[in-house]
Amino acid sequence: MKTNSMTKTVACLAVTLLASPLWAGPVTIASPDKAQTNAESRVKKANLEWNDKDQALYADITFSNDLYVSRGDALNEEYFLFRFPGVTADPATKTYYVQDNNGQRVPVATWQDGFLGRHITLSPGTYIHIREAHGDVRVVLTATSTPPAFGRRNHWLEENTGLLFERLVGR
């Protein structure tokens, strides 16, 4: 009898946890914005900005060729904005969120208002993938409310597939 009641308890706990909003997501949003940059560049700076007029969250990304510049080359830095449609702001909790397929809120980031403006911090289960292939840039946001398996600190993931592919295949 103990085993049967223990099994029921574990089953109820599992159903409760799986149905909980704590496990909402994952949600993936590909920015509709595209950019073209130098194929030999890297992400120098990246952060999030909220546009009150558009009610939209943007990734503000600066690309630079600073690591690849030699005496004959010019330093080139380019600034791009990538919009993430579907992200909304909740002023009561100072949280940006999206809704998953079940209509549950998935936190994307939180903000703090300060002396120098708004500071936005990505939530633990949110990652921004910056994919560059031969200078073509695409940005994808992935958010889940499931706690990350590892204590990952970097939420901005740069994938420069063009240079890597060229090195592997040999132009």
For the chain, domain boundaries: 23-169
Q: How far is it, in rounded angstroms, from Cα 108 to Cα 11?
A: 30
For residue 152, the model assigns a pLDDT of 57
Asked if 143 and 125 touch (Cβ cutoff 8 Å), the reply is yes
The predicted pLDDT at position 5 comes to: 53
Whole-number Å distance between alpha carbons of 73 and 70: 5
Q: Which residues of the chain have pLDDT under 50?
A: 1-3, 6, 8-22, 163-171
CB atoms within 10 A of CB 159: 13
Q: What is the pLDDT of residue 12?
A: 42
Q: Which two tokens stand for residue 58?
A: 């943007």
Global pTM reads 0.76
Residue 80's pLDDT is 97
Q: Would you state the pLDDT for residue 154?
A: 75
Residue with tokens 């980031």: 109
Q: How many residues does the chain have?
A: 171
- Judged by DSSP in three states, 61 sits in strand
What is the chain's Cα-based Rg? 20
